[in-house]
Amino acid sequence: MSPAPLHSQTRNLVIVRAGDRSLHPAWLEGARARHYDLIVSYFGDDPARYRSPEEHRVDFKGGKWDGIHAVFANDPGLLERYDYFWFPDDDIEADSATVAEMFRLMAQHGLALAQPALTHDSYFSFLLFLQCPSFRLRYANVIEIMVPCLRQDVLRQVLPLFRETRSGFGLDFVWTRLLPDNRWKAAILDAITVRHTRPVGGELHRKLARRGESARAEQTRLMRRFNLRRPKLLVYAGLTRAGAVVGSPWRLASMMWADYFTARHRAVQRNWMTHLFRIVRRHVWYRTDLAQLALSN
DSSP code, position 25: G
Closest CA relative to residue 198, chosen from 271, 64, 44, 93: 93
Residue 111 and residue 136 in contact, taking contact as beta carbons nearer than 8 Å: no
What are the extents of the domains in the chain?
91-285
The burial class, CB within 10 Å (0-12 / 13-18 / 19+), for 228 is middle
Q: What is the pLDDT along the chain (297 residues), one digit of tens a residue?
A: 444 445 557 899 999 999 999 999 999 988 777 899 999 999 999 999 999 988 999 999 988 999 999 999 999 999 999 999 999 999 999 999 999 999 999 999 999 999 999 999 999 999 999 999 999 999 999 999 999 999 999 999 999 999 988 788 889 999 999 999 999 999 999 999 999 999 987 666 566 556 666 778 888 888 888 888 889 999 999 999 999 999 999 999 999 999 999 999 999 988 899 999 999 999 999 999 999 998 554
- Whether the predicted model's global pTM rises above the 0.75 cut: yes
Q: How many whole angstroms separate alpha carbon 97 and alpha carbon 86?
A: 14
Q: How many CB atoms lie within 10 A of CB 106?
A: 22
Handedness of CA 201, 78, 96, 118 (dihedral sign): positive
